[in-house]
Copies of this chain bind each other. A is one copy, B any other.
């Protein structure tokens, strides 16, 4: 059964790349979208910005029903009033978001959820912007949001969290809950930790930028697209599973952690990173690289439908 979000009214605040991606995702799954941006020119461009993601949604989820209605709203009130979910994609500035929330909150109906797409800020940074902080959740998508299923969620009201999760699931997202507010949520903490070691290997001369990327994409990255990191060690423990792994190899893992690097982004290292991705890009523009990434992501998502991950 294809998922549908057709019963939902969703406000998208901010018509940039992330807002357009959310809008295309939810609209494709049947939700009615009211999109608002403080800049009229951004609002005017949103249909063009949604065209690519909308076409990709047709490839990823071809069998859902009719798309929902898209309304461009000149006023914040028109977007927020009556919405079940308000997905906020304002710039990463707490004071600016607080100001916006002060305008949004009186317009929300009692059940509505205000969800921030924030990457760099946390719920604790943002919740002082509301009279009733329980209305707010952080709901961080992983770029690009209409293709990568993860939405990382933290909030304090279990009822609102559940309602938001239902809406994300209806658009075939995979919501994942944090138990505690944390900078970088889960995914960017993992990505940061991995990249720190990747940069260290460049700094230390262990391998080139493009060799490290090739190793990741053809090794652990491929495996982590079907199997989590914890579960990998469970399978690595043989019949003993995770307990066996920890008993036999826990001490050597702790020694390995102690031997990992702590690089600095010195001018030399920065130059090598730039030179490395330039070699790897081999003349392809950012736009061309993104198109290749998206085609590959869509193929990976289609493969997943027949062969679900562990």
Contact = CB atoms under 8 A, between A and B. Distances in A.
A242 B142 contact: no
Interface of A: 120, 142-143, 148-150, 152, 174, 176-180, 182-198, 201, 204-236, 238-239, 241-243, 246, 250, 252-254, 256-257, 259-260, 262, 264-265, 270, 273-274, 276-278, 280-281, 286, 289-290, 292-293, 295-304, 306-310
13 contacts: A174-B218, A176-B207, A198-B229, A228-B280, A231-B277, A233-B277, A242-B277, A243-B274, A246-B265, A292-B309, A293-B310, A300-B303, A302-B303
Nearest to A186: B215
A275 to B, nearest CB: 9
A143 B236 contact: yes
Contact of A270 (B182, B193, B195, B246): B246
B230 A276 contact: yes
B231 A213 contact: yes
A256 B192 CA distance: 7
Contacts of A289: 231, 234-235, 310
Contacts of A307: 295-296, 298-300
Given A207-B179, A224-B224, A228-B216, A197 B189 contact: yes
Contacts of A187: 215-216, 219-220
Mostly, the A contact residues are: helix
Nearest to A256: B192
Nearest to A153: B211
Contact of A183 (B177, B259, B273): B259
A149 to B, nearest CB: 4
B206 A217 contact: no
Nearest to A273: B242
A193 B257 CA distance: 7
Given A178-B206, A250-B265, A226 B217 contact: yes
Nearest to A228: B213
Given A190-B197, A214-B228, 13 more contacts: A150-B219, A180-B204, A187-B216, A189-B206, A192-B260, A195-B230, A198-B229, A210-B228, A222-B224, A223-B297, A224-B225, A230-B277, A293-B310
